Homo-oligomer: A and B are copies of this chain.
Amino acid sequence: MRHFLSTEDWSRDELQSLIDRARAYRESPLGDALKGKSIALLFFNPSLRTRTSFDLGAYQLGGHAIVLDARGSTWPVEFEEGAVMDDGPEEHVKEAARVLSSYVDLIAIRAFPKFEDWTAEREDPLIQAYARHATVPVINMETIVHPCQELAMMMAMQDRMGDVRGKDFLLTWVPHPKPLNTAVANSAILMASKFGMNVRMLVPDEAFALDPRYMGAAERFCADAGTQFSLTTNVKEAYSGADAVYAKSWGALPFYGKWEEEAPLRAKGAGFMIDDAKMAMTNNAVVSHCLPMRRNVKIADSVVDSDAFLGLQEAENRLHVQKALMESLAGAER
């Protein structure tokens, strides 16, 4: 039995197979791969696209999704081994994960970090605990990585660019009023590097470097592929000759939980919105961003509304890649 918690432990060939299968589902959306099967969608954070695309995908394959809003309508859960549960949670993850596994064929979880203590939260404790105790495959619907988004991004880039190997991928930090989760940023560099692209990161300050786990993995994947990985604070250097620009905003990890101290560094990126001038420096690059996306803050209207923008296709692809993924994981006999 295999989980889908991060693309790190899935090979490029396996991921490419999922994308290829997703393309087949885009052409012919209905099927019976999940006939009589079910998936529980546990949301500890809100969702529009993820909830809709998983629920709909299960239906289109003959299956059934159970949407569980874990932000109040269900019980909080204890994760610690041997805990004396005399306050807070009414239930241990051991029971929650096992019982859910006795009902459904797949469990998908969205659980953002709480932005309180990165040392603890970088271990992704909630989904890891579910994965440890569940007896069915667990799918990550975004925790501190967002692997379903990675598949959708790569599918959109390949559709437009063909083979992406050796192409230049820029992940650029962009402005946002609040410090956000690093999940999509982590995922973007994992996927681009695994698929053989040169990966550059543009940040307002080196404090915006991502966790070494993900920077290190991306560097290794680049080394394996013979490509380059780099981090810069220089806008011109970053954009020059890029083939694909991926936008994301996130909070600087050294200031995790003490965000007021991060503000001056964040201010250094005030000019980082993607606009026509920056795009003119690229190699006629495509641009994307996972949705939702603040227009004219992260990316200018003129860029969003141009042919270069792949964000809508990427969002649509979520439906297709997740169907391929559910089929792949639930197809194996329990």
| Partner-B contacts on A (CB < 8 A) | 29-30, 36, 38, 40, 43, 46-49, 51-53, 55-56, 59-60, 64, 66, 68-69, 71-75, 78, 82-87, 89-92, 94-96, 98-100, 102-104, 177, 291-297, 301, 311-312, 315-316, 319
Asked, given contacts A56-B64, A91-B292, whether A75 binds B96 with beta carbons under 8 Å apart, the answer is no
Collect the chain B residues with CB atoms within 8 Å of residue A291's CB.
Answer: 91, 95, 99
Collect the chain B residues with CB atoms within 8 Å of residue A92's CB.
Answer: 293, 295
Collect the chain B residues with CB atoms within 8 Å of residue A86's CB.
Answer: 177, 294, 296-297
A-B contact pairs, 18 of them (CB 8 A): A36-B60, A38-B56, A40-B52, A48-B74, A51-B66, A51-B68, A56-B103, A56-B104, A83-B295, A84-B295, A85-B296, A90-B293, A91-B291, A92-B295, A95-B291, A95-B293, A99-B291, A102-B315
Q: How far is the CB of A311 from chain B (nearest CB, A)?
A: 7
Asked, given contacts A56-B104, A103-B53, whether A46 binds B72 with beta carbons under 8 Å apart, the answer is yes
A55 to B104, CA, bound (A): 11
Determine which of B55, B90, B312 lies in contact with A102 in the assembled complex, contact meaning CB atoms within 8 Å.
B312
Asked, given contacts A48-B74, A96-B48, A297-B85, whether A29 binds B36 with beta carbons under 8 Å apart, the answer is yes
How many monomers of this chain does the complex have?
3
Residue of B nearest to A40 (CB): B52
Residue of B nearest to A58 (CB): B64
Chief secondary structure at chain A's binding surface? mixed
A66 to B52, CA, bound (A): 7
Residue of B nearest to A36 (CB): B30
Q: How far is the CB of A108 from chain B (nearest CB, A)?
A: 13
Asked, given contacts A82-B301, A296-B83, whether A68 binds B48 with beta carbons under 8 Å apart, the answer is yes
A189 to B60, CA, bound (A): 41
Q: How far is the CB of A50 from chain B (nearest CB, A)?
A: 10
Residue of B nearest to A48 (CB): B74
A83 to B293, CA, bound (A): 12
A198 to B215, CA, bound (A): 65
Q: How far is the CB of A163 from chain B (nearest CB, A)?
A: 25
Q: How far is the CB of A237 from chain B (nearest CB, A)?
A: 27
A297–B84 CB distance below 8 A: yes
